[in-house]
Amino acid sequence: MSFEMTLEGIAAFITAGGTAQAVIAEAYDRIAAYADPAVWITLRPREEALAEARALDAAPVRGPLFGVPFAVKDNIDVKGLPTTAACPDYAYEPAEDATVVARLRAAGAIVVGKTNLDQFATGLNGSRSPYGAPRCVFDEAYVSGGSSSGSAVSMSSGLVAFSLGTDTAGSGRVPAAFNNIVGVKPTKGLISTTGVVPACRSVDCVTLFAASAAEGTVLRRIAEGFDASDVYSRPMRPVALPGGRLRVGVPRQDQREFYGNAAYAALYDKALAAMAALGADIVEIDFAPFRDAAKLLYGGPWVAERLAAIEAFATEKPESMDPTVRAIVEGARGMSAVDAFRGQYELARYARLSEAEWGRMDVMLLPTSPTIHTVADMLAEPIKRNSEFGHYTNFCNLLDFAAIAVPAGFTSAGLAFGVMLVGPAFSDDAIAALADRLHRTLEPTSGKTRRPLGAALAEPSHDRIALAVVGAHLAGQPLHGQLAERKAELIARTRTAPHYKLHALANTTPPKPGLVATPGFAGEGIEVEVYALDAAAFGSFTALVPCPLAIGSVELADGSTVKGFVCEPAALDGATDITAFGGWRAYLASRASADHVETT
């Protein structure tokens, strides 16, 4: 059986009887056949990944990313593989997976390797690495974009179903644009950076490359979550876009910069017309505050954060660094605390000026990159050409915005162009739905082969309530239809906090478990699915909940709290403690196995 190397394609293959082993074997076959060796820094041994896939095939519970192969930018830790940040002398062996990698693997995804990048994530072009320069999938004379170069190319080329990058200045959006894929840059702090080599630690984001905004949103929801070990981590506090006609801000005509790339300028005009056709009002804004804030990232004291991240290494082994990266990082040596405070004051001033523009718009629609360059041109003028790529991206993290980059067409020369939607912090779901509509209007394909897109992303509800289910309402269980009837949307498969126990209740039809908070108990957490319902649907659903069950507050593994099923203590008389199974599905699977043994 064949399948598309996407979340949807793999899920369909598995449903039709395919296995995780077959998916991983196909990924390694594609990697072996791919002609550009600069994509990867370290590949995981094939047999090791296949062994993980076999274990998943044999497991009683299947996560939402069951058997999905993914690639990880080599500044993000994966246990068992070295982290190099594209600098061999910097390499170390991490003791644990980065938090984001651990969450994706817990959902069933399988790491196949570590990808190339601009060294220490310092660049937007992909040519600053001793491991080579990955090339644009549409023309090898051109850069792939960076710094998440290998991650973007591996995903666009169909070697993996998704990949992880990072984005401080645009590194998760620029390569997405050049390679016809989606780049999801979440609100700062939504995805933990524990286990990520810092670039500018206060503004770094982990990003996701996916075939569509729909798949990128699924991945983001699994990957995100509060992490107390990351001092910049923040829980999601969803922000909706206003109802009625959307006001889409764009730079004034005299502020639009394409560095002479007329083809990209024309494609941007086409994107604006498409957005208007979708029912939005196009509003010209003063882009100057955003443009000037962007200059602070490399032209102001934030470059000192890059030095802070690797200061000891840069001092002891400067000769080990890429010359351009070294020049940028060493430029911070003369900066002082006074410079840092002055930079903060400047940024605050630009943020205040930007507030006036946000009063006139709901989201921004920008070119992801104003132009693209050949590898030869980039190497000839590495700093100047690279800075052009960040013209529309550098300000996002400094000013605390969410952003998502989507494909927006091709030039007559066959080079991809992309646009980017930017919204307020925590508007991630809202701008993703809009971006998905625009992607399907402008360029309804993904990747090197321009494969058709899968299912669209549902529009977010403005009054969604998150509900954790633990037993008979799980997908595939007898009462799941009560959620389906109310158009509940699955937003996460996760676990509770460690202090919960699960009991199989006596005399319930259909059989049901009871979830009980147990202070002082330290387990592994209980498997739950989290669904989103609008207020009316949530109200009608709760009316169906019978005693001894109730809807209360449930703490999840990431520290967040949602509504969920809990159990009255009196119902535990005659109940069986099944906490050791880790969830209702695993318990049912054990009973089915025992019944099978008794009847054979």
pLDDT for 593: 63
What domains are defined for the chain? 7-242+402-452 (3.90.1300.10), 247-358 (1.20.58.1700), 465-598 (3.10.490.10)
Name the average pLDDT for the chain: 94
* Strand stretches in 411-508, DSSP E: 416-424, 445-446, 451-452, 465-469, 489-495, 500-504
Helices (H), 500-545: 535-542
pLDDT digits (tens, 9 = 90+) for 89-123: 999 999 999 999 999 998 899 999 999 999 999 99
Write out the two tokens for 470: 């633990």
Has residue 40 got a pLDDT over 70?
yes
pLDDT band at residue 600 using 50, 70 and 90 as cut-offs: very low
CA atoms within 13 A on the CB side of 553: 4
DSSP at 579: G
pLDDT for 594: 65
**Which amino acid, one-letter code, is at 281?**
D
- Look at residues 174, 196, 198, 201 and name the one whose alpha carbon lies nearest to residue 185: 174
pLDDT band at residue 327 using 50, 70 and 90 as cut-offs: very high
Rounded distance, CA 371 to CA 258, Å? 6
Q: For 561-573, what is the mean pLDDT?
A: 89
pLDDT for 62: 83
pLDDT for 595: 62
Has residue 557 got a pLDDT over 90?
no
Has residue 152 got a pLDDT over 70?
yes
pTM of model > 0.85: no
Rounded distance, CA 149 to CA 174, Å? 9
Give catalytic residue positions. 73, 147, 171
Q: For 159-171, what is the mean pLDDT?
A: 98
By DSSP bridging, strand 69-73 and strand 110-115 are parallel
pLDDT for 49: 98
- Look at residues 2, 6, 3 and name the one whose alpha carbon lies nearest to residue 445: 6
pLDDT digits (tens, 9 = 90+) for 210-237: 999 999 999 998 899 888 899 999 988 8
- Look at residues 184, 203, 167, 177 and name the one whose alpha carbon lies nearest to residue 75: 167
- Look at residues 515, 458, 462, 517 and name the one whose alpha carbon lies nearest to residue 489: 458
- Report helix, strand or coil for 502: strand
Rounded distance, CA 194 to CA 240, Å? 28
558 vs 472, residue with greater confidence: 472
Neighbouring-strand partners of residue 556: 496
The sign of the torsion formed by the CA atoms of 364, 367, 370, 372 equals positive
- Residue carrying structure tokens 């023309």: 139
Q: What are phi and psi of 592, to 5 degrees?
A: -65, -40
**Which amino acid, one-letter code, is at 391?**
H
Region of 259 on the Ramachandran plot (φ > 0 left; ψ -120 to 50 alpha; else beta): left
Which residues contact residue 260 at a Cβ distance below 8 angstroms, ignoring those fewer than 6 apart? Answer: 371
Helices and strands: H and E segment counts in the chain:
19, 21
Region of 520 on the Ramachandran plot (φ > 0 left; ψ -120 to 50 alpha; else beta): left
Please give, one letter per residue, the 3-state secondary structure of 247-283.
Answer: EEEEECHHHCCCCCCHHHHHHHHHHHHHHHHCCCEEE
- Look at residues 214, 222, 95 and name the one whose alpha carbon lies nearest to residue 206: 222
Rounded distance, CA 442 to CA 267, Å? 9
Has residue 308 got a pLDDT over 50?
yes
Has residue 370 got a pLDDT over 70?
yes
Rounded distance, CA 155 to CA 212, Å? 12
Has residue 491 got a pLDDT over 90?
no
pLDDT for 534: 85
